[in-house]
Structure 1
């Protein structure tokens, strides 16, 4: 493997990065006394949270937000005979209302009835009727905006974007003209060499005033090269399409596209792009293109893996025609989805930086693709096509923004291929240099390299090293971009700008600057000093052009006074550019059918359509490029890295912005570093070597546990920090034993969870069709609420139910809270969700900890010290009919046992209990995977044995048999794939026939999936055998379950109870996708993920329908979702 699997970068952090020194510890009684006031204040806060969703509050909020559809007003006007006064205006107001019409109220029908009662000679009748017909006519687009079938994918040359005008925006078409030149062109225009020397040539480098990074302008190169590629021989022609279709990656025609395609399951060749011209741009521009090339392959693999509607087959099972069809379908879908990510970066990162929205906490972004209706003028057109013009080709030449480092690199490149100095180069010299670069690259894009980087692989056609791509991107973030200004373009661009001015004059014959401004609706300049107040610049331009109306578009745009850097103006270009780029962005995107009408789940798939939606809580306020960087380089960027979250701004500038917003402590300013490569242990003995030697291997989850436990809880931090070292480990383990494992824990847990599951199965199942067929979502309606309620009952967390409306969460919400904490601590492989997970987890974990401390006070008798405040809070949030403040018998017994068995400080106990509860939430995943495993067709015989053991259930032996089946299923289909450790020193690990040399600080991944299939310890490892030694499942349990010092798993007991009751009747999987668990691999196969009907995949399953036979019994109440 070229780029080895890497551990998440944040696992490289040491615990000391987040932990504070531990103060002298107090026992349980002392800590409870100290915490009385804290818990009291927090309880009041929890009261406010609980009240926020009560019916009176919701009703008041609804009253404030409620607004009737304006057609109701129309109806009232008709009834009151006041319509004649302004019928048309009222109707317009009605149909333009943002509120959709509730057709169940039959309002339109009532209007029709009333219209029919108007006198035949009524002057209002025809007017209103015509307006009404216009409304109906405008509802449906005419002609249709898109077609099904052959036009569902982008073509290689961009044709067919408008299905009725196929050549609009097509590659190899002439440029459009945006502005007709009316002003007579002076015969004595200044020589372009003189214009360059006096108005454009850089006098000194000026850093960009907004602190924008060169990476933004490298990204702009991807935009411009997607829509502009002038033919060298015929400059009137554009060789690429007029759409944001990532042509630099995919090519401008079928021949170029074929060169970059692998021809298997829609993939591209590794790190291969189609545009040779891009290799004359900045290294960061090429690196960004490679990011999108890699993203294409990530998407293609995910399309095949998720396989919505089961349309794809294993590659080796297809004939040649089937392979070609599948490859084409995946490739085209992946390309459209990738273009969606490209446009998301444009509007969520690029435009936000250009408009300086990135200097605020606002998540607003200017996205012009939505439907805008007007009943009388019709909907605002979209998806009609786009055709770029020569004027905008000029506008995007932002050479003055190039960093000093990039300019120097480009000079070295040109010097290598031409001995002529940049300022002396002629067009012929430049073409010769370009041809030399092209010749050096060769004709095979799989071998193209840049910036002296080397491809991997024996044939030199492999991908680049991750480290090299990340360093290139990091340099583009750290370096300083140049400011927009007159006399700001580096010497290396002399020949390019001169060629541009000549083309603008002689080939394109574009309009003047003032004519271009008139087209934009901007005030025309009346004097050169108005165009640029700098006296020297204005006077030079006056001498060159005599009158401001003669000022050419090219130098007029490039040497115009820049806007100040301020709110709404982050790019700070010339005033005309600033206005024009927004109009062009709207035209580019709104005119593209594939970004408007065909931007939907049918063309993009539900999974990827959801993946394309902005995540407003990701730490970048909805920024999108971080999703790609986190996804493709998870070992380099921590989830809070400003280099990933805000790469279009220099880190120093970003720090200043975040400091002003008072949130800088939530971010990391450390440069992306070399990813820690895994040492992967795959055998049972290797797993035992690592997991049974805590003195040699550190726990990588400490910092996340510290976040969950709260940085202010120093004693708990110390406990976790030393959890693998001698006495502290014993203390921590003994505390867990005392809290969750009384002597009869298994029987108590099995009985309680069994009763709860039986009741829930009966309550949630529903009859359908003929016969005795019942159906239930066994995961979402049974396992989730039952496990949530079980944990809440133990910990005394008040849940929201019909009988306790003032609970904090519903059972499903509580499950999500606990599963997010578990994911943040143990499954945080995806940095793109790390930031929002951390924020939610810290908030919710603190709430749960304080509830637990409050329960400890109740059980200890210290609750009385809160005095009247407690009574007030009880009356406020826990009325007599509620169950929140009153501790249940289950919770009371639990906390009394805790108090009797340990004298650890309350904060530590709260943390231990919270982590125990979090480990128990995996029962949902475990039970779901066990049931999913035995419902597979190949497990039919074993399913019958499971059903027999569950339904027989005459003694403890049947439960023991069922427990073995549970453990076997989790061995073959584990809910968690492994666990990570960090070596404390250099060592060797014997792992079967491998001998791993591990260096100090290196990460070790214990691959439980492989260890569970180790034939040395599990003969016939792929088969289910219910008589295996129960101790063989120890490591599987330790990875994901709550276990005690005797290696007993509370999770296994609970899952056995869940499965026993779910299997009380003959059961089978429901048909279609509803009967599937939706499990896919994530994070380079280091953990599973589960596809949901709504929202992105999660680390825990949420739904799976099953069918069973039997009569539905009447039950009175269950556990609500």
Structure 2
């Protein structure tokens, strides 16, 4: 074929640089981009100007234009198309444009590449878009409308049912009577109850009931109408329309009315169904309460005054966001806990889940499944979800009794349909229209509108322990006879497809024989008698007659009829992937960071199961953090025990039934705090169990029982005394500590700060910014403890060590939190498991280091020999027992690790000396392992985090309007290198910490006691943040006798005690004449912080360096403050009393940087300074 004259080039011979034609032809054939040469076309000189018959050029012309780099581009294009990912750093788009620009405009292959490029650009976006910024699309509508933004009525409540399978088989005009079908194929013999083969509990079927009535509620007036939406939006709780939704809302602060749910129908099910909905109600109320506290991005700003519209918007935004989050938890329970149990994945140690929300990539080989397209449920699935076979014996009796009463004493097994309709109508109308006036299972509402926890928990416990029934023929309770007859009549009125037609629709093989449906001759013969042909078997009788699936581990756990098992998985995928609020709009932005995290699954906990969050938020005062009842309620506990034992996980869980935790009494006055915390006989520390959990050996042996903070026995006191002797304190010790911390702080400022602005004449003034809590205070404390205990911290140049600065702090913080700040039962299980892993990892490194030291000094023997043999001959003491090291954290001549930056010489060797002294003090007759996990690791855990909290709160106080007046004087003192100035700065530090610190310590009451307590201070009415108190002018008049019962808990509020004018005159003023040993933030009594004399130096040294920064100030906006909220205990919403005046506790809760979780300590605050 001749070259086109329009190319503007003449034919030329090949040169050595030109690629061979055969290579491009083969490459073109492989890529499918190039065509074979076409025969010449007739020339039409009179064709229109826009004719499609323009002459096209072939590969020969293309070859002349391309080079080897263009080959690379084509290969890169192919690779990108197959993978569906374009690495834009390789400039593929730009290279394609270069390639295409070289080809003749008539190039056939160029057009194909261009077409492919256009197709790829088109497919990068949704057509049409499935998400919208419109305000009306922001939240779920009460009736389910607007889920699909282009078809807003799709799946709306009140719509007609859809049809899934096309019914083509001739229907028998004289089908068998439903009564006969029930009596012969479905009815359960009470004496032949078959427990579920997988020992699934009744709770799974209660949850299935909620799902079923969430998406199926057939109108009694028109059976083709579905009264609820076709989405998993928890309509039994929230209502099917706006009117119903408003009836369950409190219309204040986004809350639902306590312990209510909208659906009256739920009262016709065993009470466990209602308890589950109440649990979701409580979860919703916990979430909206937390959203209002956090107020992420000021999106839930509380109005002031009487602006009705603003208050309504505030309430609605909280409510609707809370609903999105609660539905998010609900769907995660469906997809993980529920579906994993259905597939028997709970019996294997695997975190795989069938999650239809997976992010599918776009590639040449696959096209993502559509999402957010909406849904409309069908009549076939209405029938599929009728699982009456699974009713337990207890629930059979409950339902029989309920229906008998509704029928006026008549046996429900003999009731006619008109009698059933009348009875159910009277039953439903017997409940008040107002949800808050309804009762449940005879439980009475309390003053605050909630039900007593114990009654609800008893119902749930019994339901978890009750095994459900098995699927299969002849296992529907007789009490359901009339209801099942109604179902068969409805199916016929809907003209649903046959069993085989539906199976073919969902991709299953048709049944060829009746024995294929069920090999039981009795069942097969009955089906043959009723229908004559397998193709004529009706859907609903057919799925009830099908043989159930066998138990397969993993694969089949629910063991439903074969057709049902396949259909429900398809429906789960459709329900979730088609829902806009579970896919494209299920984002942290829409749910808030906190809400997204609160509903999220975590594969490190129960392989992703998430229902424990529902239990712990509903009943925080009853379930242990590792209760098997809360973590795996869909299987009865005895079976769970077998499962966990087979997986080697049984010791991770508690097998005790739930029981109320001891009541806690708050103590506030300084005098009462001193009395309690000095009385070890009657008030016991409570940290022993947590310390033991972190340090125990795999054999179960607990080496830390005698650690100082683990108890109040003589052995615990001895441990404290020994620790005090171990703290090495030569004459120069305090100066060395101070120098180390100052040098470390300067090093951290240098390493982690960023220059953000230049200003001033000639731009010679440089502004720097740093996160002072995350990158300075926290890390300075971590480096100090790493030095004191020779922990393996990495140096700046990467030599030696295991942990970076931040990794070390996170590990120490994790361990500390699991012992002293473990007060959120919903987070506790993960916290403890992670902390134990951190403890074991760090402990193993310390143990190894001690053994290496022993080898280095020719004194240590095998780790399981007596420690007393190992310590003989260790290098003797202190400042002279080291060689010089440099300031960059290298290893010195003795092999002692240099932690951090410019560390003074003594502290470089102090860590090994500290370990030596602790081994000698604690290790007589013990192995190194016993000494490490029994004493050294708990000692390490007891520090770091507390100092970080104190320093952060102190700095925040002096950078606030309350304390800023003191900054100039403190800055002057920081510039002086005198002991007097340093000690005065320490007093400022202690005062700032006293005013802002938040500390409370628990004690277990060992004997019945009475304590005289009073209220030292009151909330400042001018302070809406509840941060600052005012002295109580009538403190003495508030004295009361507090009776404390044996076994109860007392929480000593040392924050209020620090504002008690009887102990701290002028409590809201900074005074430098107070005794440093009188402060409460290190505790009081025998368990006061053993190292407080040391850490007061470390904190002051860091404080001093920060005060030397010129122009020290907060960064602008929210980055320069940490969010501080009044701490409050969530009690599952029970016990609220309207109008109750809050007392000032001073206790605060903080949030992390992205505001996705609460924290016990400030975590982030940006500061700036100039140089």
Q: Tell me whether the two structures share a fold, i.e. TM-score over 0.5.
A: yes
Report how far residue 322 of structure 1 moved.
1.3
Matched, 1:1068 2:1113: yes
Deviation of residue 1049 (structure 1)?
4.5
- The CA distance in 2 between the partners of 1:226 and 1:751, in whole Å, is 66
Distance change (3 Å), C-alpha of 1:121 and 1:272: same
Match of 1:601 among 588, 593, 601: 588
Asked if 1:388 corresponds to 2:449, the answer is no
Deviations 1:1065-1105 (A, max 9, x none): 33221123322324456672777343233975444444221
Range with greater deviation from structure 2 (861-870 or 734-743)? 861-870
What CA distance in whole angstroms lies between the structure 2 residues aligned with 1:794 and 1:811? 15
Q: Give the Å deviation of 1:81.
A: 5.7
* 1:936 corresponding residue in structure 2: 960
**Deviation by residue 1:984-1013 (Cα, 9 ceiling, x = unmatched):** 112222222232222222121122233333
State the secondary structure of the residue aligned to 1:719.
Answer: coil
Q: CA RMSD in A?
A: 3.0
Residue 180 (structure 1) shift: 2.1
The answer to whether the 8 A contact 1:217-1:401 is kept is yes
Q: CA deviation at 1:195?
A: 0.9
- Asked if 1:557 is matched to 2:543, the reply is yes
Mean Cα displacement is larger for which, 759-768 or 583-592?
Answer: 759-768
For the residues of structure 1 that align with 2:895 and 2:269, how far apart are their CA atoms?
66
Counterpart of 2:1094 in structure 1 is 1050
When residues 510 and 857 of structure 1 are mapped into structure 2, their CA distance, relative to the original with a 3 A threshold, is closer
Looking at structure 1, the residues matched to 472 and 129 of structure 2 have their Cα atoms a distance apart, in angstroms, of: 46
Alpha-carbon distance between aligned partners in 2 of 1:1074 and 1:77, rounded to the nearest angstrom:
63
Deviation sequence 1:180-221 (CA, Å, 0-9, x none): 211111011011111110111112211111111111111111
Instruction: Report whether the alignment pairs 1:491 with 2:491.
Output: no
Aligned counterparts of 1:1007 and 1:964: Cα–Cα separation in 2: 22
> Equivalent of 2:95, from 90, 110, 114?
110
Aligned to 1:688: 674
Aligned residues: 1018
1:896 aligns with 2:913: yes
**Deviation per residue, 1:514-546 (Å, 9 max, x gap):** 111111111111221111111101111211122
Query: Quick one: which of 977, 988, 993 aligns to 1:965?
Result: 988
Give CA-to-partner distance per residue, 1:119-165, whole Å, 9 cap, x none. 45544322222122111111011111111032111111110001111
- Choose from 269, 274, 282 the match for 1:281: 269
CA distance in 2, matches of 1:380, 1:345: 23
1:743 shift after superposition? 6.5
Q: Which residue of 2 aligns with 1:100?
A: 85
Q: 1:995 aligns with which of 1021, 1038, 1041?
A: 1041
Alignment partner of 1:441: what SS? coil
Where does residue 56 of structure 2 map in the other structure?
none
Structure-to-structure mapping, 1:775-854, within 5 angstroms: 775-853=769-847
Unaligned runs of 5+ in 2: 1-18, 34-74, 760-764, 864-869, 871-888, 899-905, 1015-1038, 1131-1146
Give 5+ residue unaligned stretches, structure 1. Answer: 1-74, 871-879, 1112-1121
Q: Does 1:663 align with 2:708?
A: no
Per the TM alignment, residue 388 of structure 1 is displaced from its structure 2 partner at its CA by 0.7
Distance 1:721 1:539, change over 3 A: farther
After alignment, is 803-812 or 209-218 more displaced? Answer: 803-812
Shift of 1:746: 4.7
- Distance in 2, Cα, partners of 1:718 & 1:1043: 18
Question: Closer, same or farther in 2 for the Cα pair 1:198/1:692, shift >3 Å?
Answer: same
1:1030 aligned residue: 1076
Alignment of structure 1 residues 600-639 onto 2, 5 Å: 600-618=587-605, 620-639=606-625
Q: Does 1:770 align with 2:755?
A: no
Which of 1142, 1151, 1159 pairs up with 1:1090?
A: 1151
Question: 1:333 touches 1:603 (CA, 8 Å); kept in 2?
Answer: yes
Return the alpha-carbon distance in structure 2 between the equivalents of residues 829 and 394 of structure 1.
46
The verdict on how the C-alpha distance between 1:237 and 1:800 changes in structure 2, with shifts beyond 3 A counting, is same
Asked whether 1:439 is paired with 2:463, we answer no
Match of 1:177 among 142, 163, 181: 163
Q: Aligned partners of 1:746 and 1:317: how far apart in 2? A: 56
**1:469-494: per-residue Cα shift (whole Å, max 9, x none)?**
22222222110000011111111211
Report the alpha carbon displacement of residue 617 of structure 1 after superposing the two structures with TM: 1.4
Matched, 1:1106 2:1167: yes
Change in Cα spacing, 1:763 to 1:225, as seen in structure 2 (3 Å) is same
Asked if residue 740 in structure 1 is aligned to residue 727 in structure 2, the reply is yes
Residue matched to 1:66: none
1:500 aligns with 2:487: yes
Quote the residue 2:935 is aligned against.
912
Instruction: Output one character per residue of 1:695-730: Cα deviation in whole Å (capped at 9) or x when no partner.
Output: 111221111111233246968434138965464343
User: In 2 relative to 1, CA 891–1018 (structure 1 residues): closer, same or farther, beyond 3 Å?
Assistant: same
Q: Is the 8 A contact 2:275 2:456 kept in 1?
A: yes
| 1:517 matches 2:503 | yes
Q: Report the Cα offset of residue 446 of structure 1.
A: 0.7
Alpha carbons of structure 1 residues 897 and 208: separation in structure 2 relative to 1, 3 Å:
closer
Change (3 A) 1:758 1:1035: closer
CA separation in 1, counterparts of 2:126 and 2:671?
67
1:859 CA drift (Å): 6.2
**Counterpart secondary structure, 1:937:** coil
Q: Which moved more, 1:119-128 or 1:440-449?
A: 119-128
Larger radius of gyration: 2
Aligned twin of 2:147: 161
**8 Å CA contact retained: 1:640, 1:666:** yes
Q: Which moved more, 1:682-691 or 1:1099-1108?
A: 1099-1108
Give a deviation string over 1:250-289, Cα, whole Å, max 9, x none.
Answer: 1111111111111122111111111111111121111111
Q: For the residues of structure 2 that align with 1:231 and 1:1040, how far apart are their CA atoms?
A: 70
Greater helix content = 1
2: CA distance, partners of 1:715 / 1:563: 46
Match of 2:1007 in 1: 985
Mapped contact 2:83–2:363 kept (Cα < 8 A): no
User: 1:827-858 deviations in whole A, cap 9, x for unaligned?
Assistant: 11223333333333333323433444455556
- Structure 2 contact 691–710 (Cα < 8 Å) conserved: no
Distance 1:682 1:795 in 2: 36
- Which residue in 2 is equivalent to 1:135? 120
Q: 1047-1056 or 304-313: which moved more?
A: 1047-1056
Are the counterparts in 2 of residues 919 and 1041 from structure 1 also a CA contact under 8 Å? no
Instruction: Select the structure with the greater relative contact order (CA < 8 A; seq sep ≥ 6).
Output: 1
Q: For residues 542-597 of structure 1, what are the alpha-carbon distances to aligned partners after superposition, in whole Å with 9 as ceiling and x for unaligned?
A: 11122222211111112211100112011100000000001101110000011111
| More moved, 681-690 vs 477-486 | 681-690
| Structure 1 Cα separation of the partners of residues 496 and 311 of structure 2 | 49
SS of corresponding position for 1:996: strand
Residues 674 and 1085, structure 2, Cα contact 8 Å, conserved in 1: no
Residue equivalent to 1:886: 896
Provide the secondary structure at the position in 2 that maps to 1:706. Answer: helix
Measured against aligned partners, the alpha-carbon deviations of 1:798-852 in whole angstroms (never above 9, x if no partner) come to 2123434442111111111111111111111223333333333333323433444
Q: SS at the partner of 2:941?
A: helix
Change (3 A) 1:540 1:817: same
TM-score (norm: length of structure 1): 0.86
**How far apart are the structure 2 equivalents of 1:868 and 1:664?**
33
Following the alignment from structure 2 to structure 1, what is the Cα–Cα distance between the partners of residues 21 and 350? 41
Residues 636 and 674, structure 1, Cα contact 8 Å, conserved in 2: yes
In structure 1, what is the equivalent of residue 1052 of structure 2? 1006
C-alpha separation in 2, matches of 1:259 and 1:623: 32
Q: Is the 8 A contact 2:706 2:934 kept in 1?
A: no
Taking the aligned partners of 1:1106 and 1:292, their CA distance within structure 2 comes to 42
